[in-house]
């Protein structure tokens, strides 16, 4: 799972600059920490049971269901919700990559059509949603929960760096786009539209 998830991430993200590689390295650490615990040694639950007195009969479930005592039922709920967020995030990530590829091929800004009409960095939005679903909702660990805000901060920093280059290249056109469209989070009422456009629908 670590190899498959990492290959898919690097396949679509394809980091080039050192900032992109640094950001990708944080995601790589997240993936390793997540799946090493999910399919290997459950370090998080072990530490909580050992040092914080979490001594219950349902420790075979995930962290959230163990903490609130819901056992396998809680595990099933968090798994379904986590996978739903993961697949939505993957869809947004891939569609954003396609739109950006077409814009770069045509030497134009991806600003109005599709996902870029709702957020300026849909690939990062999709990445955040997918990682939150898999590493915080479905199978939270001390490392994945701790790394998630670090990933958000790292990619926020990267996005600002990328936007400086876009301003140098496109000037006022991109500055006007910045004023119209939020960076990562769609405006209220546009979340459903974001999910629909992630499947290629522009309406």
Q: Where are the domains of the chain?
A: 2-197
Average pLDDT for 75-96:
90
Question: Taking 70 as the threshold, does the pLDDT of residue 116 lie above it?
Answer: yes
- The token pair that represents 95 in the structure block: 């569609």
Query: Rounded CA gap, 2 and 29, in Å?
Result: 10
Q: What is the pLDDT of residue 152?
A: 93
Q: What is the pLDDT of residue 87?
A: 93
DSSP annotation of 106: T
Asked if CATH classification 3.30.9 holds for the domain at 2-197, the reply, yes or no, is no
Residue 19 pLDDT level (bands cut at 50, 70, 90): confident
Q: What is the pLDDT of residue 49?
A: 66
Question: Taking 80 as the threshold, does the pLDDT of residue 200 lie above it?
Answer: no
Which stretch, 24-33, 35-44, 73-82, 120-129, has highest mean pLDDT? 120-129
Query: Rounded CA gap, 45 and 128, in Å?
Result: 24
Q: In angstroms, how far is the first alpha carbon of the chain from the final one? A: 35
| CB 26, CB 150: distance < 8 Å | yes
| CB 151, CB 135: distance < 8 Å | no
Average pLDDT for 7-26:
77
Q: What is the mean pLDDT of the chain?
A: 82
């Amino acid at each position: 799972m670590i190899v498959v998830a990492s290959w898919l991430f690097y396949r679509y993200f394809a980091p080039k600059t050192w900032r992109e590689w640094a950001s990708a390295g944080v995601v790589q650490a997240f993936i390793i920490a997540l799946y090493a615990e999910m399919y290997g040694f459950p370090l998080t639950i072990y530490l909580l049971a050992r040092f914080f007195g979490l001594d219950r009969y349902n420790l075979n479930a995930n962290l959230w269901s163990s903490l609130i005592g819901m056992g396998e039922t809680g595990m099933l709920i968090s798994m379904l919700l986590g996978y739903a967020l993961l697949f939505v995030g993957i869809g947004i990530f891939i569609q954003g990559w396609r739109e950006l590829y077409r814009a770069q091929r045509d030497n134009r800004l991806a600003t109005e059509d599709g996902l870029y009409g709702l957020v300026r960095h849909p690939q990062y939005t999709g990445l955040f949603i997918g990682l939150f679903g898999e590493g915080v909702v479905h199978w939270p660990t001390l490392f994945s929960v701790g790394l998630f805000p670090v990933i958000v901060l790292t990619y926020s920093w990267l996005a600002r760096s990328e936007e400086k280059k876009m301003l140098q290249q496109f000037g006022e056109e991109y500055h006007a786009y910045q004023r119209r469209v939020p960076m990562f989070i769609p405006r209220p009422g546009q979340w459903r539209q974001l999910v629909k456009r992630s499947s290629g629908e522009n309406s």
